[in-house]
Amino acid sequence: MANVSSITAQQLHAVMNSSQEAFILDVRNKEEYSSWKIEGHTTKSINVPYFNFLDEDERNYKDLPKDRNIVVVCAKGGSAQFVAGLLADKGYMASVLEGGMLAWSQFYYPTVVASHSSLKFIQINRLSKGCLSYVIVSEGKAMVVDPGHNIEIYTELAKEHLFTIEHVVDSHLHADHISGGRALAELTGATYYISSGEVKGTDLHYEPLENHASIRFGQAEVDVLAIPTPGHTPGSTSFLLNNAYLMSGDTIFVGGLGRPDLGGKPKEWAEDLYDTVFHKVSRLLDDVLVLPAHYADISEMNADGIVGATLGHIRTNNDIMMNADRESFTEQVAGAADTEKPPNFEEIVAINRGEQHVVPERAAELEIGPNRCAVHHH
């Protein structure tokens, strides 16, 4: 069998970001593929399960191009190696995604949202999970919002852009991925903030977010307003930067709202979410850019590679944001309790509350899979 080259997650993303179309052959089973796959605006992906290739059936190859490279993807890389070898023997150009979907799940990509003399604002996209975190930099000082488990991305950005991380905040207690908040704060000596309602009953070391209406650093104009926005969780908090950018956590998404059922009180939390949407967020202007902690679909990413939309756009395009009837809204949003919950969410919550400790290998396993923290109604 012919030897085939490999491609890293970073290299694959570079191809996806270029003008050429990336062609992906995913050889995981159909269920895994349908729930979670690599997507991009210029990416074509097809699924032919690995076991199909154990039979000499030419139908396995009918949708594969001969004129460009095919990136073969599986869970961890082994099955893809075998299939790519078969393709190479038949004259196809093929490479293997090194480490498979496990490696893709650990890839983070930064995009600058805004940059001028007194402020640099960066969105970090963990593409595999649809997880988003943020770094706000002013005068060499920084605040990190909703950091992911791989905290190296933030310390590397600090070296690259010459800033010191002074503040680390979690908008809420995350259920679908392990927060890097406490670890990043401990490593850098930064203050770690979270709403006390999220972690009461634990011995977690934190600064209660509700004690800080604003967190100021660098230039006076950098003023991060902490706005309690319960609904997804009781202590969910959004952050308004310079009256222009709303880091909305899992409260408001480009295409939906945070699901209220993960704490087992869907109706009660859905009513909180109603108050948040119609009594708090309603006060913000239409031109505020909403930047959430998650996204569920590649369509939520704009042409600049940023996941976000103005509040005005969301208000006029998101049906659920227009449902001002409290009872109807509550029923609609609480219905999310019938949808699939994030895998391993109870264990992840326990880790994020500081009640359990986890080794890196187990952390990677727990986090594999799509984001399921949103209620989407279009």
Are 132 and 82 within one domain?
no
Whether residue 204 is found in the same domain as residue 310: yes
Q: How many domains does the chain have?
A: 2
Q: How confident is the model at residue 303 (pLDDT cuts 50, 70, 90)?
A: confident
Q: Are residues 201 and 176 in the same domain?
A: yes
The percentage of the chain sitting over the pLDDT mark of 70, rounded to a whole number, equals 91
Question: Which CATH number is 304's domain given?
Answer: 3.60.15.10
Token pair, residue 61, equals 């190859």
Residue 32 sits in the same domain as residue 167: no
Do residues 154 and 11 both lie within one domain?
A: no
Work out the mean pLDDT of the chain and round it to a whole number.
87
Show Cβ contacts of residue 158 under 8 Å, excluding neighbours closer than 6 positions: 142, 164, 165, 188
What token pair was written down for 297?
Answer: 């679909």
Q: Please determine, for residue 187, whether its predicted confidence score (pLDDT) is greater than 70.
A: yes
Place 112 in a pLDDT band, splitting at 50, 70 and 90.
very high
- Assign 342 a pLDDT band (cuts: 50, 70, 90): low
Question: Which DSSP letter does residue 341 get?
Answer: P
- Which residues, listed in sequence order, are joined to residue 376 by a DSSP beta bridge? 256
Statement to judge: residues 253 and 165 lie in one domain? yes
Q: What's the average model confidence in pLDDT over 356-373?
A: 79
Mean pLDDT, residues 40-47: 89
Specify the pLDDT at position 339.
61
| 232 and 140 in a common domain | yes
* Same-domain check for residues 211 and 320: yes
Q: Which percentage of the chain shows pLDDT scores above 90?
A: 49
Residues 97 and 148 in one domain: no
Range in 68-77, 319-328, 352-361 with the lowest mean pLDDT: 319-328
Q: What is the mean pLDDT of residues 30-44?
A: 88
The mean-pLDDT minimum among 19-23, 205-209, 225-229, 304-308 falls in 225-229
Domain boundary (104, 133, 159) is at 104
CB environment 362-372: b (16+ within 10 A), e (fewer): ebbebbbbbbb
Q: Name the pLDDT band for 343 (thresholds 50, 70, 90).
A: low
Contact 108, 150 (CB under 8 A): yes
- Residue 150: pLDDT band with limits 50, 70, 90: very high
CATH code of the domain in which 22 resides: 3.40.250.10
> What pLDDT score does 30 carry?
94
Q: What average pLDDT does the segment 191-206 reach? A: 90
Catalytic residues: 74
Q: Which domain holds residue 55?
A: 5-104
User: In this structure, are 84 and 161 located in the same domain?
Assistant: no
**Residues 6 or more apart whose Cβ sits within 8 Å of residue 159:** none
Per-residue pLDDT for 232 more than 50? yes
Residues in the chain: 378
Residue 378 has pLDDT above 80, yes or no: no
Q: Is 151 exposed, middle or buried (0-12, 13-18, 19+ CB in 10 A)?
A: buried
